[in-house]
Amino acid sequence: MVEYLPILILFIIALGFAVTNVILSAIFGTQKPTAEKLTPYECGIDPVGSAHERFSVKFYLIAMIFVIFDIEVVFLYPWAVAFQSLKLFGFIEMVIFIGILFICYLYIWKRGGLEWE
């Protein structure tokens, strides 16, 4: 465990630095809140409407598509680890796998799953 000691020390210093600065600025900083200052920062543009709105159902579709394609990547990791010993066989397997995913992508694209309107 000794070799992890520097990491622990670094971690403590980093945490201490951040906490100290937050406390110092809270004690010594002047606070004059105005309505303008309290609005959420949206790249300098005046915010429109409330943030507590119902999301459009379209977000669900994008989220679902993301979840599916995102999680398939999990199979790439063991393949990448064992790539050297799997050689050409593993490569062809993975090409087929990605090919099937590509058909899914094509399907979503053509069915308009990626269009916002």
Partner 1 sequence: MANVSIMTFNILSILPILTLAGFGMIVLLVDILSSRKLGEKNLLAYLSLMGIIVAAILARNSTGTTLFSFNESFAIDNYSLFFNFIFLLSTGLVILISHSYIKREEINHGEYYALILFSTIGMMLMASGADLLNIYIGLEVMSISIYILTGFKRSKLISNEASLKYFLLGAFATGFLLYGISLVYGSTGAINLKQIAGFIADKGSISNPLLLMGMALIIIGLGFKVASVPFHAWVPDVYEGAPTTITAFMSVGPKAAAFAAFLRILMTAFGATHYEWQKIIYILALLTMTVGNVVAIAQTNVKRMLAYSSIAHAGYLLIALVAANDMGMSSVLFYILAYTFMNIGALAIVIIVSQKGDEFIQIHDFAGLGFKHPGLAVAMSLFMLSMAGIPPTAGFVGKFYIFSAAIKSGYIGLAVIGVINSVISVFYYLRIMVIMYMKEPTRDFNPLTLSPLIVVAIVLSVIGTLHLGIFPSKIMEIAQQSILILK
Partner 2 sequence: MITLTHYLVLSAILFTLGVIGVLIRRNAIIIFMCIELMLNAVNISFVACAHYLNSMQGQLFVFFTMTVAAAEAAVGLAIIVAVFRNKETVNIDDINIMKW
Residue 12 touching partner 2 (CB under 8 A): no
Contact status: 27 vs partner 2 (CB under 8 A): no
* Binding region for partner 1 (CB under 8 A): 81-82, 84-86, 89, 100, 103, 106-107, 110-111
| Ramachandran assignment for 99, one of left (phi > 0), alpha (psi -120 to 50 degrees), beta (any other) | alpha
Find where tokens 């989220």 sit. 63
Write out the two tokens for 63.
């989220």
**DSSP label of 51:** S
| CB of 28 or CB of 59, closer to partner 2 | 59
Q: Which does 110 bind (CB under 5 to 8 A by kind): partner 2, partner 1, none?
A: partner 1
Using N-to-C axis directions, what is the helix angle for 58-72 and 83-110, rounded to 10°? 160
**CA 91-98-108 angle, 5° bins:** 175
Near partner 2 in 77-96, by CB under 8 A = 78
Residue ranges in 55-74 that form contacts with partner 2 under rule CB under 8 A: 57, 60, 63-65, 67-68, 70-72, 74
Residues that bind partner 2 (CB under 8 A): 57, 60, 63-65, 67-68, 70-72, 74-75, 78
